[in-house]
Amino acid sequence: MEKSTRKFILLALLVVTAWGCSQNQTDLPPTATDTISQPQSTETEAALQPTETSKPTKIPLPVSETPQPTQAPTAEIIIEGDPIPLLPPGTEISLKEVGLITADFGWGIAPDQEGEYHIFRTDDGGEGWREITPPQPANTQSSRERPAVHFSDPDSGWVSYNGTDLIWTTRDGGLSWQPARLEFDTLLGAIIHSLDKDQVWFFQFVDGGMQKVYTVLYRSKDGGTTWTKLLDPFSDAEIQAFDKTGVDFYNAQDGWLTRFFRGVTTRIRLDVTTDGGETWESLELTAPPSQMDLFSSCVCGLYDPHLDSTTSGSLRVTCECEPYDNPLIKSYLYQTNDSGNTWDINYIPEGDLDYISPGVYYAIGPEIYRSEDGGENWDFIKTVYWDGQLSFVDQQTALGIAHCVGDDETALVKTTNGCQTFTLIEPTLLPSFTER
């Protein structure tokens, strides 16, 4: 099937609500979204109300000697190998991930016909794109796996590819890139998070096995020119276990790290730092009062952390429960105003949780909901028949990727009215912005 035909079909799916991507979609068992719109039981009604749990347990890290942080060398870095070639203007691109930073500026990544990932920027909200791929050496291990990309503003950004010890920094929006060479190679992906254009954290996943995802944590205070190693698999025990799903810092000291626990432990815990990431403390959560066996009977993880202050923040707890071949998804919004000593817990619809502003959230799943009262009530917005990754710049505007379940084809979509309608965008590749 030609790509243009496939995108026409996807456009029809954006506006037609009478059928799904497949017949199996209509046979799914009830999920959290069903009980939000039409509560069926006393248990569900109780879950919809904010409830304080008992005080959680703080688990200190084992005492051990931590090596002194080492700074990346500032000597000239020699890059061997031919860089990923820039695509010519007019090339058709299929974006796989996007981030909208302002109403006009955003970044996106897309593979070429050889499977190598390229990085792009838009300055008109998603219509036109210019390539800004750093001169990363092209090879099958690094350039054909999805890179980690993060921008704090239209000028300041960072990129890390798999299979390399390099992290790239731009201070001019991708016009030029500067590499830094680190102590370890990135092998299992990475998370990049910035507080602003200068304060940046880089969680580098270097190996895995036996429920471990070995992690090296670096920090830069000068926007990526130099990096200080804070933690590695030999100097920290607690955060090495399990998959890391998200991170947020409120200031240069206070941060949260969330993880997926794979169903092998009932200890569902949030990792907290108060010294910029040099040490982490585990804050164990209790299950919702209406579902006290949730953590022991389901596969659970923490996602979408957001800090509003040094003492207040929120995150999503999502659990997959039997039958595991077609799991029942249960999600909860956990919110604290006292550094996690107590939590307000609200049952929320299935899907990703997008924080917009204090008290305002979107739940993006097969059905889209919005809450404007901190999760106590959820307003149904729209049913969609595609999976999506949306990046919001405010309550009304989001850019995202849509794809049908089981289909590798993707399309770029945008909403400017709070997810009530979506527009299909055919991205146009303009002349490259970066200098080589």
Q: Where do the domains of the chain lie?
A: 36-60+243-361
Say if CB 401 and CB 411 are below 8 A apart.
yes
25-32: long-range contacts, CB 8 A cutoff, minimum separation 24: 25/366, 25/385, 25/405, 28/326, 29/326, 29/328, 30/328, 31/328, 31/329, 31/350, 32/329, 32/330, 32/331, 32/347, 32/348, 32/349, 32/350
What's the confidence (pLDDT) of residue 404? 76
pTM attached to this predicted model = 0.84
Tokens of 364: 């993006």
DSSP H/E element including 297: helix 294-297
User: Would you write out the chain's pLDDT as a tens digit for each of its 436 residues?
Assistant: 445 444 544 444 554 433 334 433 333 233 333 333 333 333 333 333 333 333 444 434 333 344 444 444 446 788 888 999 999 999 999 999 999 999 999 999 999 998 999 999 999 999 999 999 999 998 766 667 899 999 999 999 999 999 999 999 999 999 999 999 999 999 999 999 999 999 999 999 998 777 788 999 999 999 999 999 999 988 766 789 899 999 999 999 999 999 999 998 999 999 999 999 999 999 999 999 999 999 999 999 999 999 999 999 999 999 999 887 788 999 999 999 999 999 999 999 988 999 999 999 999 998 999 999 999 999 999 999 888 889 999 999 999 999 876 677 889 999 999 999 999 999 999 999 998 8
